[in-house]
Copies of this chain bind each other. A is one copy, B any other.
Amino acid sequence: MKGPVRMRDVAAAAGVDPSVVSRVLRDDKRLSIRPETRQRVLDAIEQMGYRPNAAARTLKTARSMAIGMVVTDIANAAYTEIAHGADARAGQLGYVLLLANGTIEDRLPILHGRVDGLLYGIATSDSPLPSRPLQGMPCLLVNRRAPELGTSIAVDDQTGAALATRHLIELGHRRIAAIVGAATADTTRRRIAGFTDAMREAGLDVSPDQLVETTYDEEGGYAAAVQLLERDERPTAILATIARPAYGALAACNTRGIVVPDEISLVTFDDPPITRYLHPPLTAVKRPLREMGSRAVELLLELVDGKPVDDLVLENCELIIRSSTAPPPA
């Protein structure tokens, strides 16, 4: 036997026309077929191990039943979490989710004709944006808002950051610092806004030096924390608004023998399993990332159907209190 089994081979084996096989396969309502004939077809399919060719079907129907997700860093836990949610929902709706690494600009040409729509994340708002907006491919920006780029889905980072900040204030902290991402990212702006809101609510001022910028890795958070810890008036609490820098910040405290939470409190963003196995387990703002993935798929498919879709912001950030936060030292 040479080459893959085609529909016509199955048809020949079952003694019917290829179109009949097609309709059996697709469960065509308008097909009336004798049970025995249908069974012959099904048997032939099974026995020959026939698999429909997706390319041919896609070409014919102009629908691939696949959606793509492009992320710049496939190792980023937040995005794999989103992808998880997206994958599950896509499956329920009869679609496959295909994940590709890279920028949407790079991947768009390659994905064109392979997927019906695209979910994409961008690292910071100053990363290169799709210039010619996405050429007829329905696209949804995930985890970030950017009106100029079209529809997006994001979580309410502002409320999330405020939640954490209020928790620290309620514990009695006054000197609170925040470790934040690139100033150009809108997530950074929103998290800073949440932090500032909560501080102001409590009658506390936020001066620029309470905000320390970090890169998106552990190293950046470590450096940022060191800078804070070396100050004359060391903060009694740190809100690390990004996960990996939060781990770096924790390491900085541990390395210098500054006991968390006795001497300083620490809050992180996001809640992968490792969070509760750190030393100490970290209090965290848990963003609804899976839900973001599943809602993203729903919105994208509306877009694919040509329906108008509004930006969506998920409100339900949650604060998970663990042992990295406590009242400030006396």
Contacts and interface: CB of A to CB of B under 8 A. Distances in A.
Contacts of A52: 109, 112-113
A56 interface: yes
Nearest to A56: B59
A75 B66 contact: no
A118 to B, nearest CB: 12
Interface residues of A, number: 59
Contacts of A226: none
A81 B255 CA distance: 28
A113 B218 contact: no
A234 B112 CA distance: 59
Contacts of A114: 54-55, 64, 66, 98, 114
A125 interface: no
A180 B59 CA distance: 48
A272 B74 CA distance: 13
A111 interface: yes
Nearest to A243: B274
Interface stretch (A35-43, A161-169, A194-202, A246-254): A246-254
Interface stretch (A14-22, A99-107, A147-155, A182-190): A99-107
A42 to B, nearest CB: 15
B74 A111 contact: no
B64 A274 contact: no
